[in-house]
Amino acid sequence: MTDPKIKLFARVLLRYCLKLKSKQMIRLVSGMQALPLLKELYAEALAIGAYPLVKIGAEDIEEIFLRNASKDQLTFIPPMESLEIEKIDAYVGVRASTNTRFLTSLDPHRMATFRKAHGKLMKRFFQRAAEGKLRWVATLYPTSAYAQDAGMSLDEYEKFVYRACMLDKKDPVAEWHKVSAYNKRLINYLKTKNIIRIVAPDTDLSFSVKGRKWINCDGSSNFPDGEVFTGPVENSVNGRIRYSFPAIYGGREVEDIRLEFKDGKVIKATAARGNDFLEAMLNMDRGARYVGEVALGTNFGIDRFTRNILFDEKIGGTFHMAVGEGYPECGSKNSSALHWDMVCDLRRNGAMYADGQLFFKNGKFLK
């Protein structure tokens, strides 16, 4: 018997997040663990009258490729992948890992080579999204691996995921409209400001958002969602920041990251663990040392760190920043094959100022 919450999950993803329409081509991507959700997504897409295409990934296959491929193979872009990005109208990516650390021992330079080569696909994907020609949503299916990372049982983690997605509510869409309204109020305040300053333990960072657009993330791209973001003026980031939580990228966990910026560029980067990997990613290309995104987490249903950025960047009362690729829809001009989100907790002894005016303290919007 199908779990009613999984059926609801699929319905909200396609009808609320993507607003999928008849005759649109949609790519559904997931791992085998998410098969129950994938089947419901497929059935719902057919009911809408769309044209669903299915791709099921496997970590074992990905690992074989990344460990054994030649440089030529790592950098080869299959023509059908480029064509697909040009043709699809919608995309759903369901993360369903069975081992979140399967690439931990991979040479970071191999990862960087692969990401850099495929960066053009990512860039085109986000260009089409910014143009309104492609709608996308990324989500997660609860697995034992994610539950273990979060320090929960699978049952506890499933409840956490459904709560974060508002799927435990009688009307999830109505709840997401409430998130949207809160985000809009925050954006209405920020859109008239030019200089943002972040102050927290071992952190004093400022940047300009003049002329940039703040985006309301209320479930239309990530699910769960809950953030407002923009791209800072590329050469405006100055100061230092210490990230409260470990930053995870490509299955590698880097602890106690501290970055120092001058005129937009990371000029010093250290980590208590994973420093070599951090440096390799920041040296991926020119844009990797510049900031593509700054954001505030506004999902107060997510109240703990889980070692999964889909949730952790949305923690209500936190600030996150991504080095690398920016989103064109907010005005960012930074280009990179990297997009690495890192989270700074402002819920204790944290503050944000806009044009010198305190507007956010200890995780709460004051206006």
Q: How does residue 3 score in pLDDT terms, banded at 50, 70 and 90?
A: confident
Q: Backbone phi, then psi, for 273, in 5-degree steps?
A: -145, 135
Burial profile 322-338: b = 16 or more Cβ within 10 angstroms, e = fewer? bbbbbbbbbbbebbbbb
Q: Number of helices (H) and strands (E), helices first, in the chain? A: 11, 20
**Pairing between β-strand 215-217 and β-strand 90-95 as defined by DSSP bridges:** unpaired
Homologous superfamily (CATH) of 4-164 is: Thermophilic metalloprotease (M29) (3.40.1830.10)
Span 134-164, pLDDT tens digits = 999 999 999 999 999 999 999 999 999 999 9
Q: Which residue in this structure is represented by tokens 């994973």?
A: 274
Span 204-252, pLDDT tens digits = 999 999 999 999 999 888 999 999 999 999 999 999 999 999 999 988 9
Q: How does residue 87 score in pLDDT terms, banded at 50, 70 and 90?
A: very high
Count CA atoms within 13 Å of residue 120 on its CB side: 10
Task: Give me the pLDDT at residue 251, please.
Answer: 83
For residue 181, how many other CB atoms are within 10 A of its CB?
12
Q: Which residue in this structure is represented by tokens 């609860």?
A: 142
Find out whether 289 and 314 touch, Cβ atoms under 8 Å: no
The answer on pLDDT for 292 being more than 80 is yes
Own/partner pairs for 62-66, CB < 8 Å, 24+ apart? 62/102, 62/103, 63/102, 63/103, 63/106, 66/103, 66/106, 66/110, 66/111, 66/114
Token pair recorded at residue 324? 């690398």
Task: Give me the pLDDT at residue 326, please.
Answer: 95
Q: What percent of the chain has pLDDT over 90?
A: 90
Q: Which residue in this structure is represented by tokens 């230092």?
A: 240
Span 301-339, pLDDT tens digits = 998 999 999 999 999 999 999 999 999 999 999 999 999
Q: What percent of the chain has pLDDT over 70?
A: 99
What is the rounded average pLDDT for all residues in the chain?
A: 95
Ranges in the chain annotated CATH 3.40.1830.10: 4-164
The answer on pLDDT for 1 being more than 80 is no
Token pair recorded at residue 71? 């440089």
Q: What is the mean pLDDT of residues 284-292?
A: 96
Task: Give me the pLDDT at residue 220, please.
Answer: 84
Q: How does residue 282 score in pLDDT terms, banded at 50, 70 and 90?
A: very high
CA quadruple 262, 266, 272, 276: dihedral, nearest 10: -150
Task: Give me the pLDDT at residue 221, please.
Answer: 86
The answer on pLDDT for 355 being more than 80 is yes
Task: Give me the pLDDT at residue 367, please.
Answer: 76
